[in-house]
Amino acid sequence: MLSSRTVVAVASSSSFLPLSHPAAASTSSSASAAAASYPFLNRRLAFSQCHTNRDRSIIPKPQRSRVMEGFKTRAAAAAPQLEDADALIDSVETFIFDCDGVIWKGDKLIDGVPETLDMLRSRGKRLVFVTNNSTKSRKQYGKKFETLGLNVNEEEIFASSFAAAAYLKSIDFPKDKKVYVIGEEGILKELDIAGIQYLGGPEDGDKKIELKPGYFLEHDKDVGAVVVGFDRYFNYYKVQYGTLCIRENPGCLFIATNRDAVTHLTDAQEWAGGGSMVGAVLGSTKQEPLVVGKPSTFMMDYLAKEFGITKSQICMVGDRLDTDILFGQNGGCKTLLVLSGVTSLSTLQSPTNSIQPDFYTNKLSDFLSLKAAAV
């Protein structure tokens, strides 16, 4: 039991160990040889048998069977609408909230969110915000929360930019290796804090390929990982450079912060998400990425360890079925879908949808109205 109850918030925007080594897709012997040359990959190769083909998530085989059985059960019956908010709140110690589509849309706060978070804090819950969006660092997200009038500490924020750096640290990424970044400032800042060398990022946004006879693009042979996140400065140069690193540098990792199809850059419409950038590199390398954002279990495991959270006492609240709700289900949590973001009621109740949350509701502030109605 935790000394203080816990609420965790996660922003939207899939785990991370491929079935085979990127530089050794052809044979297992070449994978072993690459691992011998790069000892930090041994841990990664050892975990490869725990890997699922669908989203490259680390889910141990026994747990994976339970998850799949759960999917079949949920597919048979649509999720019920939340009616008793108090019962749900009292049943867990931790709430994990997605942000885009749950807390805000673009730079606009969703109505009723401050009052709802205040109510949860007053009931002894802790708030931690985790986002799949990698464009900002934890510190930069802290400023966004402040701008929106939400009092959130930097230690309560976990972005996929941070997750990428944390993952590299967790596998003892070699000090003499570099990371090539296809992404924005958030990733660079988190790599800086982690003491990891990098190149690329926004400064490569203006670089061009000279398509003329004999043109040859040089790349850094010391790049040991390519990290791909949402990138508004995405171009052909970055695709080619990242592709060369992954294809030609032995043991080079292909890491994605997320594979979200869409994101909320503004509250007016949906915009192409980080998955579109990841897809371009995947298409040219034919390698599946190691995804550190939702629905990968990496962030859930990290949070559980960091805060001493019991996973069975967590409720995941999000607006996306294939990232937020699957993230919660993969972690063994209760799940609540809000319809204020990406997923519509018709999508949730479609016969083709196999991912069903434990409950759904229209928006986060329903916690207040449903609580009042119960009284």
Is 93 in the active site?
A: yes
**Contact criterion met (CB below 8 Å) for 320 and 342:** yes
* Candidates 93, 156, 184, 288; catalytic one: 93
**Contact criterion met (CB below 8 Å) for 262 and 342:** yes
Residues acting as catalytic residues: 93
